Amino acid sequence: MILPDFYGRFRCKAGACQHTCCRGWDIDIDDVTADYYQQLEGPLGEGIRQHIADGPDGWHFCLTAEGNCPFLRSDGLCQLIRQAGDDILCDICALHPRFFQVVENGGGQDIELGGVGLCCEAACELLLSETGPLTFCDSESGRTLGGLSQLLEWLDYPLPDRELIYQPAMAQKDYERLL
């Protein structure tokens, strides 16, 4: 798997996060975890089952009137983790904001790319704290692959260096469009 060099240092800010991922979007539950929740005994299992539903797209948590996960505590921490540990989480809660994408390189070989989404303030802080150039590595071999241009070339998507440099638009019409 190809990862940015800072990937292994990502840590959720949990209760210190100002923009929790436990608010404002539907939280899907993978089938394996939904089955586990259905079989979980005791008050925790009963409490989980009271706050999940099976809809047309599969299982999900029923959000509160404020749009929060029903297990988001007032201190910003997850009640499920506090009671039972990380292993109780569904896939999306355990993995977010990590993402994985399989692409085919020019040689016909499937390559898995991974990263952390910039929807997460901890991921943004980690990326912006880097002082050197962004580099990528192969997590299996530990080999450094170089920067973005080398990665794109390796994936058989070469771009000229000028295409990889951010150049903000300075025209009035661009500012008006943003506003």
pLDDT band at 161 (very low <50, low <70, confident <90, very high): confident
Q: Which amino acid is at 86?
A: D
Chain Cα centroid distance, residue 41: 30
pLDDT band at 10 (very low <50, low <70, confident <90, very high): very high
Give the pLDDT confidence score for residue 134 in this predicted structure.
87
The answer to whether the pTM exceeds 0.85 is no
What does the pLDDT look like over 60-100, one tens digit per residue?
A: 999 999 999 999 999 999 999 999 999 999 999 999 999 99
